[in-house]
Amino acid sequence: MGVEFAAERRLLAQDELAPVQQSHYPALDDLPHGDLLDLTRWLRARHGRARDIIRERRRRRSGKAATRDVTAEPPSERGLAAKKQVFARALKRANARLNQLAAAARREHALAFLHAALARKHATPPRHPNAGQTAAPGMRAQPSRKPRPVIQGARIGSTSQAVRNAQAARDAQ
């Protein structure tokens, strides 16, 4: 679930609040590409810094890292973890906008190539001239060279009559 604007204002310092507010969507759509890249770099640096501080505090608390002040207990990283999440969400929004801009640029690039290819296709003369409106006579029918079978008149219908006679003989049995 997202953090409300009031919670972001509470978690972030004054100099950190303005860039994070720029990462919200009405303002994010108006940013030019160069400013968006700068915002993404800044957010990534702040997110990495918060991550490193949290990691170092945890190492110090577990005893793996050398402590600078033995008497001081390292503070809890709850607030810093929430701040890191704010930076992570802002970075996610900025990266999504960068991806949208990159996809739009790729679409425009591909469309320009397609239009150029279509223009080249229309510019080339046809390889085969048009046949025109009149059709050619086409192929002539060749008579078959196979001899036509000759059936005698007495044989016409004899097969079907033989079948009838055989069926009648079976029925009579």
| Both tokens assigned to 79 | 């607030």
Instruction: Give the model confidence (pLDDT) of 21-38 as tens digits.
Output: 999 988 999 999 999 999
Lookup: tokens for 152 = 């005698």
What is the rounded CA–CA span in Å between residue 152 and residue 146? 19
- In the numeric block, the tokens 């968006």 are attached to 36
Pick out the chain residues at pLDDT < 50: 1
Evaluate whether 107 touches 49 at the Cβ level (below 8 Å). no
Contact (Cβ atoms closer than 8 angstroms) between residue 31 and residue 99:
no
3-state secondary structure of 136: coil
Q: Rounded to whole angstroms, how far apart are CA atoms 23 and 31?
A: 9
CA atoms within 13 A on the CB side of 143: 3
CA distance 101 to 30: 12
**Cα of 33 vs its chain's centroid, Å:** 22
Which pLDDT belongs to residue 159?
79
Contact between residue 1 and residue 89 where contact means Cβ atoms under 8 Å apart? no
Closest listed residue to residue 40, CA positions, set 81, 82, 101, 107: 101
The pLDDT of residue 1: 43
pTM: 0.63
